[in-house]
Amino acid sequence: MEILWAPWRMEYILSDKPEGCVFCKCVKTGDHKQSFLLYSSQYCFVVLNRFPYNNGHLMVIPNRHVSEIEDLTSEELSDLIQTIKLCVVVLKKALSPHGFNIGANLGKTAGAGIVDHLHFHIVPRWEGDTNYMPVIGNTKVMPEVLEKTYEKLLPFFKEKEDKSL
């Protein structure tokens, strides 16, 4: 069994969180580059995770501030899944991963760092992308800065704007 280790994330999980919803703030700011916002659809949006498990770690987030998946309308849920599919297509083209972890942590006990606003993670994976550094050295080696990854992914999302998924 392969395990995705991320011991450095505990600092984030246990840290004090800013007032208000970071996801809602992300959309309201006009600076998409600053918030790493890559794509918006009718009912959701895509951001690059600031605390990634791996390069290209994206989050798909409903526009509406809801915490439970069952609170999404059929239209919102359909758009969310179509946007997750788009993320996979974009990541395949831009970064050529060998696989993906896709999921949501529903509730604090399940590991959600932001419990009040539902979001899904898309984590690209490559063969051999785990090594001894996180386990032995408590250090994750990220081969690319977030700004560079953002710039690499943005053209692929721009290409998909105003086109049906």
> Where exactly are the structural domains of the chain?
9-160
Q: Is the pLDDT of residue 116 over 70?
A: yes
Alpha-carbon span 84 to 82, nearest angstrom: 5
Q: Count other C-beta atoms under 10 Å from residue 146's C-beta.
A: 16
Q: How far is CA 138 from CA 62, 121, 141, 145, in A?
A: 33, 22, 10, 19
Instruction: Provide the 3-class DSSP secondary structure of residue 98.
Output: coil
pTM of the model: 0.79
**Residues forming the active site:** 119
- State what percent of residues in the chain have pLDDT above 70: 79
Residue-level pLDDT at 48 = 95
Of 81 and 145, the structure prediction assigns the larger pLDDT to 81
DSSP 140-160: ---SS-HHHHHHHHHHHHHHH
Most confident of 2-6, 28-32, 119-123: 119-123
Residue 43's pLDDT band, with cuts at 50, 70 and 90, is very high
Nearest to 79 by CA among 63, 59, 99: 63
Residue 137's pLDDT band, with cuts at 50, 70 and 90, is very low
Residue-level pLDDT at 132 = 47
- For 84-115, what is each residue's pLDDT tens digit? 999 999 999 999 999 999 999 888 888 778 88
Does domain 9-160 fall under CATH 3.30.428.10? My reply is: yes
Residue-level pLDDT at 34 = 86
Q: Is the pLDDT of residue 63 over 50?
A: yes
Residue 165's pLDDT band, with cuts at 50, 70 and 90, is very low
